[in-house]
Amino acid sequence: MALHQQTAPSNVGDTAIALATDRPTALITSRTPARPPSTGRVTKVGLTAYIITRVLLLATSRIIAAVDHLGWSVVLRPWDARWYLAIADRGYRSSSAPHRARSDAFFPLYPLLTKVLHRITPLSLESAAIVLSWVGGALLVSFGARLASSLWEYERAVQAAVLLAVFPGSVVAGLPYADPLGLAFAAASLLELRRRRFLTAGLAAGLATATFSLVVVPLLAIALWTVVVQRQPRATLTLVLCLTGIAGYFSFLWMHTGSPLIWFRVESIDWHSHVGVSLRRGMFWIFHVTVESSIVAAVCCLGLIAGFVALLKLRAPSEWVIFCLVVLATILFDTGTWLTPRMIYAMFPCVLALGAFLSRRWIIPLVILFAGLLCLCLVIYTPQNYVFFNP
């Protein structure tokens, strides 16, 4: 009997070893810690999902063109895309009259880069604009993957990157829109700010504010927060550089039209952008007669709420929360817009947090749902469909 009795461990360490020896292997492996994030692998998975959805969008555009008897190029240049292409082709008009200067509402870096790409490659102007939009969306997924990897383990970071890649609002990352490129610069600025690289954070923010108007106030707010609340005086450089993009464009408009406030006048008179609560327009979109409008609006609102809950539950960086809150306030207090997929896409930290927060059993059905809604959004954006006034 004594021969079969185990010798008592002499200390706590031996006790742990003995227990681990007697424990089945399956239990040991099930308690191993999650893999640390590999930024390269997370980025590859996210970009793979992004490429698949862009191919899906191209196929959808072909189907729309065939069904609606439209040229394929017509399907891919709806709404604001026509203004960006016109600016890239002919530039801005020299007029201080708002109704003659509607193009002044669109920031210049995206059409400028489109024109440069058109000149140095055999691509047509429209193809160059679409390629640049694709690149912007890919950069946003790449920087989003890096942001996710800096916070969460591998599995969560992958889920976050994939959800951002297939999000329905990313439909603009396949159309001649400045949003993807501007958001990519904004994500790069957030990433560099997190690494306390204030010079490169400011340069990226300056490029963002020269590209997409919706990121101007959020990036300025984050830079100011870093300087004042987090007491990082070196972030003053980020704040100053952030202003260069919008200051440069407004200075150009002043010299070009003779009016320093022409952008605000155009936004107010031609694009019906006023300070106020956009609830009436939102109710119209939610209760519009088309089923597509109601579905997309409902999913957007639910997804946004879930994204903010995920931000808080995961204790995301304060910069992420500030960015999303300021974008949301800009949308809700502008009578000319509402929570469309495109606008929620601008709150990409919410999308990243939602992807990281959900369990694996929920993420796969949600990715499939988002991929389907992504194609539906392209249908909504085509000229033959009037679901939203300003998608």
pLDDT digits (tens, 9 = 90+) for 133-155: 999 999 999 999 999 999 999 99
Which pLDDT score, from 0 to 100, does residue 240 have?
A: 95
Please compute Rg for the chain using Cα positions.
24
Handedness of CA 109, 87, 220, 311 (dihedral sign): negative
pLDDT of residue 20: 40
For 57-66, the CB contacts below 8 A with 24+ separation are 57/171, 57/174, 57/374, 57/375, 57/378, 58/174, 60/375, 60/378, 60/379, 61/378, 64/378, 64/379, 64/382
* Range with lowest mean pLDDT among 52-61, 112-121, 140-149: 52-61
What mean pLDDT value characterizes the chain?
80
Q: Per-residue pLDDT tens for 313-367?
A: 999 999 999 999 999 988 888 776 777 788 889 999 999 999 999 988 888 998 9
Per-residue pLDDT of 201-220, as tens digits, reads: 999 999 999 999 999 999 99
pLDDT: which is higher, 11 or 112: 112
pLDDT at 95 over 70: no
What sign has the CA pseudo-torsion 304, 136, 263, 103? Answer: negative
* pLDDT band, very low/low/confident/very high, at 72 (cuts 50, 70, 90): low
pLDDT of residue 30 exceeding 60, the answer is no
Q: Are 42 and 346 in contact (CB under 8 A)?
A: no
- The string over 131-161, giving b where at least 16 C-beta atoms fall within 10 Å of a residue's C-beta and e elsewhere, is bbbbbbbbbbbbbbbbbbbebbebebbbbbb
Tell me what pLDDT residue 97 has.
54
What confidence tier does 15 reach under pLDDT thresholds 50, 70, 90?
Answer: very low
What pLDDT does residue 101 have?
59
Q: Are 269 and 95 in contact (CB under 8 A)?
A: no
In angstroms, the CA 292 to CA 300 distance is 12
